[in-house]
A and B are shown apart, each in its own frame.
Chain A
């Protein structure tokens, strides 16, 4: 408990650091939300001054930061100038859509990568492993945007997949089941891109961790004692390979909100990606800071969860930390 408490405290301090840096970077960027409004000749300088005062832009950075901290304590995460509403509810509705995409992509990626990595490690000198190395290297070398654009081109040329969005207009008045089906069809494209992007890294990590485990003296000893191959794989090698994989899982969990931003923008998935891009273009600072904080919260939470899993899974870490 003491270990977990300490890790929690570290995470809170890290988040504080991220929030301060976010404020400093956004402040250092040129321009603000009212710059475009100022170009409109119909808006008087008095109105502009009133808006500046209303949005708190006339206050020093420290005062704005304290004000923002108060709004975080109220669960609002600041105020969006563009939407004229607190940031948190705006973020939450988009984060749900992003999580639907990244969560299913992560689940599918791990479900495919685990057996794939294990089989390539087990048969590491065979043709399957060579073929797998080639495919994963090819996927690693292909940028996310190229994959997303390629799939978009496929969707437009063949009409087999929707070219963007989350739901067709026609599906809005239909039954719940048909709506779910429609969302699933729209999900396919960005999901496929995300799975193809994350698969090669995962497969290679799992393969490397499994090879290390399979070549360990402990597995050699188990083989010498006549333990069955399947038991060696599941009871010895996989648990031994799990430490780096649990850490990787924590990182993946942490990047759930940020992993798909680019793919969402390219494939018009209405999640956090397009929302953040709009906010950056409009200089809607609290939305930017809120999104960064939300993504950081997920990252820190994911790593914390990874640490907890490691703590549970490895008796050596338990003994070391409890000592």
Chain B
């Protein structure tokens, strides 16, 4: 599948010196700070895919949470679509943040079990104040776009398979016409053939909508196939900057060598 022309690309996302620390321990205990993100610098161009690879607890999900506004960074700045997120407030910030969509690994948990497939997909449009009939039409179109027949609109998440639920989550994320989609381990837990189908779907959608992907994973094998660049994160720090996937031919070794380098 041909990707969008990236020769004249400009950055949709720039992260500069981002820091985030979590305080651990209750008020009556000894408290200490864990630096989840330590001076993170990242650049992601329009229409391209950056894979962020690191072991569990390296700070990948914290970075994703900061990007979508679920966590407030302690220091540094996030420039999205040419605007500093930290300088925006209220509705202006919320509107811009909606252009960054996050898709979670645990699709079973991330979808409300009491809602039907169509209700789940159309929900982001409720806040946009769109009329209900139009909303439903757009939701059904988005479902069809990700390969879910509109006849399944009344099915609940527990009536769908893991791959179908992931497609549903992708449809929901697409509905707000995002510029950046953060894929947090979306292929983990799926069998190989489903992984291939979802990867192909993501590539198709990328070329169709000129989407940028920040693909988070603990395993390069999951994301290396469609990432343009790879960044390795270890203990909250990016080691070595953005590189081509081929430059990290043995990801586990590279992660361990990066750890040794950071430790030394």
Interface residues of A (CB under 8 A from B): 216-218, 220-228, 231, 236, 239-240, 313-316, 319
Contacts and interface: CB of A to CB of B under 8 A. Distances in A.
A314 B68 CA distance: 30
A316 B113 contact: yes
B112 A225 contact: no
Contacts of B124: 225-227
The B interface is mostly helix, strand or loop, or mixed, namely: helix
Contacts of A315: 113-114, 156, 158
Interface string B39-65: 000000000000000000000000001
Contacts of A239: 112, 114
Contacts, number: 68
A228 B124 CA distance: 9
27 contacts: A217-B104, A217-B109, A217-B110, A218-B110, A218-B111, A218-B113, A220-B70, A220-B110, A221-B102, A221-B109, A224-B65, A224-B70, A224-B104, A225-B101, A225-B173, A226-B124, A226-B127, A227-B124, A239-B112, A239-B114, A313-B114, A314-B113, A314-B114, A315-B114, A315-B156, A316-B156, A319-B158
Contact of B111 (A221, A224, A227, A231): A221
Contact of B112 (A218, A223, A228, A319): A218
B94 interface: yes
Given A217-B109, A240-B112, A314-B114, A225 B156 contact: no
A227 B127 contact: yes
B176 interface: yes
A101 B244 CA distance: 74
Interface in B93-114: 94, 97-98, 101-102, 104, 106, 109-114
B9 interface: no
A147 B159 CA distance: 50
How many of chain B's residues touch chain A, expressed as a range? 20 to 34
B64 to A, nearest CB: 8
A224 B102 contact: yes
A222 B106 contact: no
Given A218-B110, A218-B112, A227-B124, 16 more contacts: A217-B104, A221-B109, A221-B110, A221-B111, A222-B123, A224-B68, A225-B124, A225-B172, A226-B98, A227-B123, A227-B127, A239-B114, A315-B156, A316-B158, A319-B156, A319-B158
Contacts of B114: 239-240, 313-315
Interface string B127-164: 10000000000000000000000000000101100000
B126 interface: yes
Instruction: Please list the 6 inter-chain residue pairs (A to B) with the smallest Cβ-Cβ separation, ordered nearest first.
Output: A217-B109, A221-B110, A224-B102, A226-B98, A224-B68, A315-B156
The A interface is mostly helix, strand or loop, or mixed, namely: helix
Contact of A225 (B113, B123, B158, B159): B123
Contacts of A226: 94, 97-98, 124, 127, 176
A57 B109 CA distance: 63
A228 B111 CA distance: 16
A223 B70 contact: yes
Nearest to B114: A239
A231 B128 CA distance: 13
Interface in B211-239: none
Nearest to B105: A217
Contacts of A231: 126-127
B113 A222 contact: no
Contact of B106 (A217, A224, A314, A316): A217
A223 B173 CA distance: 12
A231 B114 CA distance: 14
Nearest to B111: A218
Contacts of B159: 319
Contacts of A227: 123-124, 126-127
Given A226-B97, A227-B123, A221 B104 contact: yes
A223 B111 CA distance: 12
A218 B98 contact: no
A254 B53 CA distance: 55
Interface string B155-190: 010110000000001001100100000000000000
Contacts of B172: 225
Nearest to A219: B112
A205 B123 CA distance: 29
A236 B127 contact: no
Interface string B57-99: 0000000010010100000000000000000000000100110
A237 to B, nearest CB: 10
Contacts of B97: 226
A319 B124 CA distance: 27
Contacts of A236: 112
A315 B113 CA distance: 8
Contacts of B102: 221, 224-225
Contacts of A316: 113, 156, 158
